[in-house]
A and B are shown apart, each in its own frame.
Chain A
Amino acid sequence: MGLLTDPTAGQGRFVKLLLKYCDKICALMYIVGILWFCSLAYPAMNANTYFSENALLPGLVKTQFREDKLALTYHEELLDEMKKYDDSIPYPWLLAKFRQIGLDVFVHNFTLNSPLNKKERYTGQNVYGILRAPRAASVESLVLSVPYRPPTSVHQTTSPSIAVMLAFAKFAAKEKYWAKDIIFLITEHEQLGIQAWLEAYHGVTCGNDDALDHGDLRGRGGAIQAAINLELHSEKIGQLDVKIEGLNGQLPNLDLFNLVSKMCSREGLYQTFKNRGLHYYRNEFKEWWRYFRNTLAMMATQASGIPNGNHGLFHRFGIQALTLEGFEQTKAAKSSMKVGMLSLGRIIESIFRSLNNLLERFHQSFFFYLLPASDRYISIGLYMPAVSLIAGALFIKAFAKWLKLQGDSDSLDNKSASFGQEVEPIKIIVTFISIHLFSIGLLYMPQLVSEACETYDCPVNRTIFYALLTTVTIAILIPFLIFGFFDKSIEILNVFAMLELGTALICISMTNFSLGMFCAVLSVPFTLWVGRTNSRIASVLQTLFLLLIHPITVLAAVVLVNTYLMFPKDPQKEILMTAWDATQQAVIYSIADSMIYGNWLFTVVTVVFHSNWLCYWIVVMSKVRKNGGKGKSKKEKKE
């Protein structure tokens, strides 16, 4: 096999075949990629989950938690106490309880200077107690966290989880087998609180420097090995949903998920993933369809890069974490048995005792996976080929285009000079780089606009959104301003754009597969099609399709569909209005997320996808212009 031989030397059968069947090969790769992906949900293609880390010894001990009565008392007291605090955390009560239990108690204060509006400041308070392990010197620790939600919160209450946490703390404080400190953490302001606490624990700032002032912690417990976040909405739980998707699509180690699943089933609790429990069908298609929908549901959450619980912010710090959300009764769990505080406490106990057994931090099992059900997984080795095939089509197409150009220049060597068909590399590179610089400018625009807003006193969020929209529209007009591009240079720009997109898609899907996959499925067919065409209809269609996959259009469409699914009964006009508002919100939130949490969705979309889109746009628009004027005659002559 001649790996290192000169590719141009042959120009043989392989190249000719490639040039001849390029479109068909690309189409085939795309379709096979999608089929591959769909088939992943088929039981034969994925596997049963299993424990890779033997040190966990899951479920080996007999649970001893018996403090359920106490948990109920705590809950009653807490509900009384919560009435006194409208929108803040009843920290004196919590401190007193932790102290009575015998934990080291600390309060953590943090401040958020709203990154888009400097005048807005929010303060918050986290309360945490550390159970010092008698068997170790505070070298490692585990976290049990609960987001505190005041009665005025829009989210469902989490007070039962605080009660069960306290009861578990009380139980754990008198046991002598703990080898890792247990940190009981109650955070305020949902994800902000946990982010501030984690930043303070690790002494770092993840977002913009001036956005979140994380304060300082007085007590620490060494390296955190794992975290469990509790969101129980009721004293009696009929369904326990496990949430795993974290910031930027990071996932916890699969062993932790398996551990939780196993412990729930041990206590006879109806455990679900994405609100779907285990269900076995005789019919293979039905089974596939269930798995497939579940996988898609997980991917939809993962693709957004927004954590769906407080656990999601731990992942960045190398801490394996997930959220247990308990519902009293849901559609999915109508017939299931309800369990009380006793079982919940025992589930927590057995999870923590398993984690206590860990000798090494989680490193076995999978960090990259998809879950079609809570007892099955799809490993990275199986799902990567799907996205690689789809993105690979781009590379093949780019290669074919390149070869074609080479061939053209060979055959047209003598004529090209007279037609001005020379490649202008500097022009291409300048265009390519300036497009990217423009997108980087777009990335920093919200900050500039918000600063400008301060001086001129205008509504920040709206201004930022419209400023972004205007800039993007201006960008769409750019091709009309650039003149003097010739056919061949444009083709090379097209090749560049394809290579960039292909690389970006593969890189993104390595870290956040769902985002990469969705983007690939959406963008690849259109971008493959963009290129040399003589038909006017085709070029108009290209323009239209390209506009369809513009990031803003995609976002608006996703939001619209979501709005429709959420409020199907509203009149259409209202849905449109809500969707438009929601789109604005989505853009603003993604900007704020990138500034506070270091979420890179906004960055990736502006710098990679938007600039890449602009490259294609220039390619398409220059075509249109050429077809109308002199270009046509040139092309005719050429042919």
Chain B
Amino acid sequence: MVLASFLFLFCIVPAITYKKEEFTEELLIKPLYAEQLYAHFQFTTKWHTDIKKDTFSHSRLFPRALGEILKEYSLLELHISLTSGLWRYEQWGYPVYDAAPGAEVWAWFQDGTESLDEKWKLLSNRLSGLFCASINFVDRSNSISPEFSFRPRGVVENVTINNSYVRYASLPRELVCTENLTPWKKLLPCDTRHGLASLLNSEYIHNTRYHSLGIHFRQTCSDSTCTIPALELQQTISLVYDYKILGTKDWSFRKLFGQGFYQKCALADRSDIFVDTISASSKYFELEQLPDEVITSFRGGYTSTFAKYTLKDNYLSLSTKKGNTEIVPLQIPPYIHANQYLIGYGQEKGGIVTKIYNNFWKHLDVILLQNIPWYVPIYLHTLKIVANGRDIQPFALRYIPGKQREKPYYLEVLLRLPPQSTTTISVDFDYIFLKWQEYPPDANHGFYIGSAIISAYLPLARNFTGLPQDGGTIRDSFNASRNGYLVQVRTESLVITLPTPDFSMPYNVICLACTVVALAFGPLHNITTRKLVLKPMKKLGLLDRLKKLLHKEKAEAKEK
């Protein structure tokens, strides 16, 4: 009886008290208009627990390493992306998750969190260790709290949102490599041996034009009425393959990932592959394997068709063969895309220009966010917004001037872009000298300015692949028509060459300065300090004369 009750306690009680966890893995393959193929892996773990109450010490699928961090720094949301290459919006449309080149981190802390800056710094250090990336360089001097651009992606309790609890930072110079991929893969329940993650061979995914690792953690609801909270962790990898680099347009799993798919992840509730077959350029190929299901999705005025493959425990390798090559896809640029570049030459004055293209037939409201490092002092009075040759006034402007070595320049502008327009937002800056120890070893490489972020709610979902706010999987994005579709376009990051001393110069200067001082000091000292005083001749006594004589003799002897 006692034994039975023990058994009950040890086996059944945990099973009951154990919160439910779901794991979904999905792969979306979408041919882009240009000569590229977009593959997006989405691994979503949903954990039906409360972020505030759970201790994160027991979980079945949710990575504990991350959970501990979330708990310790009272995070409400955490978004990290590590990206190499640039997403080309104009040719490729919109990705599922926008990411700036390099590393990007933004997080919402829970309301009432104290000593935020310190926690943010500690958090960045922990993340740096977790992902083997230099996220530890994130601190107060390059982080901002944007007022409009970053809202919580998940559920929040308060209606009013206090932006002092959000932190955003980007490290445009971060290089992303296998060393980041390995720890990222370790957070997955099935690691890399089973499931879709087995397709992620670093040898192949770094042969792409663009690849981006992402971690997105947020709070969602367990049910439709949203009374019970849940946690959701999305791990994403976006890859853009180039047919030219692949050498062929007939793509297959072997060519993309180096191998096919052998075994599904037993822990996954769902493992699906979706191949977009309707986009114009998909007509270039025909899938050789019959899909399990064909899904037609109507979203935001645009219809797309997906071939769905459900993973089972047998070998699967998708491959395509050339379809009708006579159809040339018409490349339609997305509604909003943007560029950023520097103007001016020399090392005195310059300007940062952001150019936003609105290809929509109606006006669009956008938010431009710029996080400009402290070593690029900008002048707000030079801010100029010109749309199609006419000056326009922003709806709102938020600006916090930077402080050298302490905080960056934060600029957020709310704009209404006229229909079919090109808007340039330019601001001037000065080049400044840094302290000599602040120059990196490769000082002449230049210093980076991170991407600008342009956020907009698009009324239609052309070229849009993003997930709806209420969904965490790709499946949720089918037939998900909403009022608007959030895109956050990232521009190119910039590199500027600050006035860089020739580092052998200090040595030369020291030599020269010392010589000059040595030559000039003597006479100067002589002139200013010497005092000519008449001294009465003292008659020498006999003893003194004798002494003098002796000294003289001594000196002579020494000389000899």
CB distance B35 to A137 under 8 Å?
no
- With A132-B209, A223-B446 as contacts: A139 and B519 at CB distance below 8 Å: no
Q: A4-B520, A223-B342, A363-B500 are in contact. Are A140 and B495 (CB under 8 A)?
A: yes
Judge if B393 is at the interface, Cβ distance under 8 Å: no
Q: How far is the CA of A174 from the CA of B247 in the complex (A)?
A: 8
Closest Cβ–Cβ distance, residue B338 to chain A (whole Å): 12
Q: Mark B436-476, 1 if CB is under 8 A from A, else 0.
A: 00000011111010000000000000000000000000000
Interface string of A30-70 (1 = CB under 8 A from B): 00000000000000000000000000000000000000000
Q: Which residue of A lies closest to B207 (CB)?
A: A176
Q: Which of B247-270 contact A (CB under 8 A)?
A: 247
CB distance from B124 to the nearest CB of A (A): 22
Complex formed: what's the CA distance from A318 to B496 in Å? 12
Chain B, residue nearest A139 (CB): B495
Partner-contacting stretch, out of B22-30, B84-92, B213-221: B84-92
Let me know if A4 and B524 touch, CB within 8 A. yes
B343 within 8 A of A: yes
Closest A-chain residue to B345, C-beta based? A317
Given A137-B85, A360-B445, is A174 in contact with B524 using a C-beta cutoff of 8 Å?
Answer: no
Q: Is the CB of A132 within 8 A of B446?
A: no
- Complex CA gap A616/B207 in Å reads 70
Question: B442 and A360: CB pair below 8 A?
Answer: yes
Interface flags for A1-32 (1: CB within 8 Å of B; 0: not) read 11111000000000000000000000000000
A382 at interface (Cβ–Cβ under 8 A)? no
Q: A219 vs B340: C-alpha distance in the bound complex, in angstroms? A: 10
- Tell me, rounded to whole Å, the shortest Cβ–Cβ distance linking B36 to chain A: 10
Residues of B near A203 (CB, < 8 A) are 343-344, 351, 353
Q: Judging by beta carbons under 8 Å apart, are B84 and A220 in contact?
A: no
Within 8 A of B (CB), among A111-168: 132, 134-140
Contact of B493 with A137 in the complex, beta carbons under 8 Å = yes
Q: Are A137 and B86 interface neighbours, CB within 8 A?
A: yes
Count of chain A residues near B, Cβ 8 A: 33
Q: A202 contacts the other chain (Cβ, under 8 Å)? A: yes
Verify if A531 is at the interface (C-beta below 8 Å from B). Answer: no
Known: A5-B523, A102-B35. A361 touches B344 (CB 8 A): no
- Closest CB of chain A to B187's CB: distance in Å? 25
Q: Is the CB of B244 within 8 A of A174?
A: yes
Within 8 A of A (CB), among B311-360: 339, 341-346, 351, 353
Known: A220-B339, A316-B345. A173 touches B244 (CB 8 A): yes
Cβ of A140: which chain B residues have Cβ within 8 Å of it? 495
Beta-carbon contacts under 8 Å, A196-228 to B: 202-204, 219-220, 222-223
Taking a contact as CB atoms closer than 8 A, the residue among B88, B344, B351 that contacts A132 in the complex is: B88
**A540 on the B face (CB < 8 A):** no
Is the CB–CB distance between B524 and A138 below 8 Å?
no
Contacts of A174 in B (CB 8 A): 244-245, 247
- Asked if A359 is at the interface of the complex by the 8 Å CB criterion, the answer is yes
List, in ascending order, chain B residues with CB within 8 A of A317's CB. 345
Bound Cα distance A318, B522 (Å): 44
Q: Which residues of A in the span 215-268 have a Cβ within 8 Å of any Cβ on B?
A: 219-220, 222-223
Q: How far is the CA of A67 from the CA of B208 in the complex (A)?
A: 24
Residue of A nearest to B444 (CB): A360
Main secondary structure of the interface of B (DSSP, over half): mixed
Report chain B residues within 8 Å CB of A318: 345-346, 497
Give Cα A104–Cα B333 distance, bound, in whole angstroms. Answer: 13
- Given A223-B497, A318-B497, A363-B500, the answer on whether A204 and B345 have CB atoms closer than 8 Å is yes
Q: Does B104 contact A (CB under 8 A)?
A: no
Report yes or no: A204 in contact with B344, Cβ–Cβ below 8 A.
yes
Contact A137 B101, beta carbon cutoff 8 Å:
yes
How far, in whole Å, are A202 and B341 apart by their CA atoms in the complex? 9
Q: How far is the CA of A2 from the CA of B448 in the complex (A)?
A: 50
User: In this assembly, does B66 line the interface, its C-beta being within 8 Å of a C-beta of chain A?
Assistant: no
Per-position 1/0 for B51-89, Cβ under 8 A of A: 000000000000000000000000000000000111010
**Contacting residues of chain B (85-106) with chain A, CB-CB under 8 angstroms:** 85-86, 88, 91, 101-102
Q: In the complex where A3-B523, A135-B84 touch, is A202 in contact with B345 (Cβ < 8 A)?
A: yes
The yes or no answer to B494 lying at the interface (CB within 8 A) is yes
For the complex, give the distance between the alpha carbons of A567 and B162 in Å: 82
User: Which residues of A have CB within 8 Å of B342?
Assistant: 202, 223
**What's the nearest-Cβ distance from chain A to residue B434, in Å?**
16
Task: Tell me whether B527 and A202 are in contact (CB under 8 A).
Answer: no
Q: Report the Cα distance A638→B86, complex, angstroms.
A: 84
In the assembled complex, B242 has its CB within 8 A of some CB on chain A: yes
Say whether A137 contacts B492, CB under 8 Å.
Answer: yes
Please give, as numbers and ranges, the residues of chain A lying within 8 Å of B209 by CB-CB distance. 132, 134
In B472-520, the 8 Å CB interface with A consists of: 492-497, 500, 519-520
Tell me the residues in window 297-347 of chain A with beta carbons closer than 8 Å to chain B beta carbons.
316-318
Contact of B523 among A2, A175, A204, A316 (CB under 8 A): A2
Chain A residues within 8 Å of B492, by CB: 137-139, 222
**Are B524 and A222 in touch, CB under 8 angstroms?**
no
Q: What are the residues of chain A within 8 A of B345 when measuring CB–CB?
A: 202, 204, 316-318
Of B172, B344, B519, which one neighbours A3 at CB under 8 angstroms? B519
> How far is A220 from B354 in the complex, measured between Cα atoms in Å?
12
Nearest Cβ on chain B to A212's Cβ, whole angstroms: 16
- With A and B bound together, what is the CA distance between A140 and B353 in angstroms? 17
Residues of B within 8 A of A175 (CB): 245
Complex alpha-carbon distance, A202 and B426, angstroms = 13
Within the complex, the shortest CB–CB distance from B64 to chain A, in Å, comes to 34
Query: Nearest Cβ distance between residue A401 and chain B, in whole angstroms?
Result: 27
Q: What's the Cα separation between A202 and B495 when bound, in Å?
A: 14
| Partner of A134 from B245, B247, B443, B523 at Cβ < 8 Å | B245
**B35 to chain A: closest CB distance in Å?**
5
Shortest C-beta distance, B242 to chain A (Å), equals 7
Given A135-B85, A223-B497, A318-B345, residue A363 in contact with residue B208 (CB < 8 A): no
**How distant is the Cα of A220 from the Cα of B523 in the complex, in angstroms?**
60
Determine the distance from Cα of A138 to Cα of B448 in the docked complex, in whole angstroms.
Answer: 12
Interface bits B90-129 vs A (CB < 8 Å: 1, else 0): 0100000000011000000000000000000000000000
CA distance A2 to B522 in the complex (A): 8
Q: Which residue of A lies closest to B492 (CB)?
A: A138
Chain A residues whose C-beta falls within 8 Å of the C-beta of B522 in the assembled complex:
1
- Closest Cβ of chain B: how far from A473's Cβ, in Å? 39
Tell me the complex Cα distance, A202–B448, Å. Answer: 18
Q: Are A176 and B245 in contact (CB under 8 A)?
A: yes
Q: Complex Cα distance A75/B346, Å?
A: 39
A4 engages B523 (CB within 8 Å): yes
CA gap between A359 and B88 in the complex, in Å: 24
Q: Is the Cβ of B445 less than 8 Å from the Cβ of A361?
A: yes
Pairwise interchain contact A361-B519, C-beta atoms closer than 8 A? no
A545 to B156, CA, bound (A): 90
Return chain A residues, CB-CB under 8 Å to B34: 102
List of A residues within 8 angstroms of B91 by Cβ:
104
Bound-state Cα–Cα, A3 to B516, Å = 9
Q: Compute how far the CA of A252 lies from the CA of B489 in the bound complex, rounded to whole angstroms.
A: 38
Taking CB atoms, residues of chain A closer than 8 Å to B341 are 220, 222
Contact across chains for B494 and A3 when beta carbons are under 8 A apart: no
B199 vs chain A, min Cβ distance (A): 19
**A 389-400 binary contact with B (CB < 8 Å = 1; else 0):** 000000000000
Interface residues of A (CB under 8 A from B): 1-5, 102, 104, 132, 134-140, 173-176, 202-204, 219-220, 222-223, 316-318, 359-361, 363
* Closest CB pairs A-B (n = 6): A203-B343, A137-B101, A360-B444, A137-B86, A174-B244, A363-B444
Binding site for A on B (CB under 8 A): 34-35, 84-86, 88, 91, 101-102, 172, 207-210, 242, 244-245, 247, 339, 341-346, 351, 353, 442-446, 448, 492-497, 500, 519-520, 522-524, 527
Q: Could you write out 25 A-B pairs with CB less than 8 Å apart?
A: A2-B523, A3-B520, A102-B35, A104-B91, A132-B209, A134-B209, A134-B242, A134-B245, A137-B86, A137-B101, A137-B172, A138-B492, A139-B101, A174-B245, A203-B344, A203-B353, A204-B344, A204-B345, A219-B339, A220-B339, A220-B341, A222-B492, A223-B446, A317-B345, A363-B500
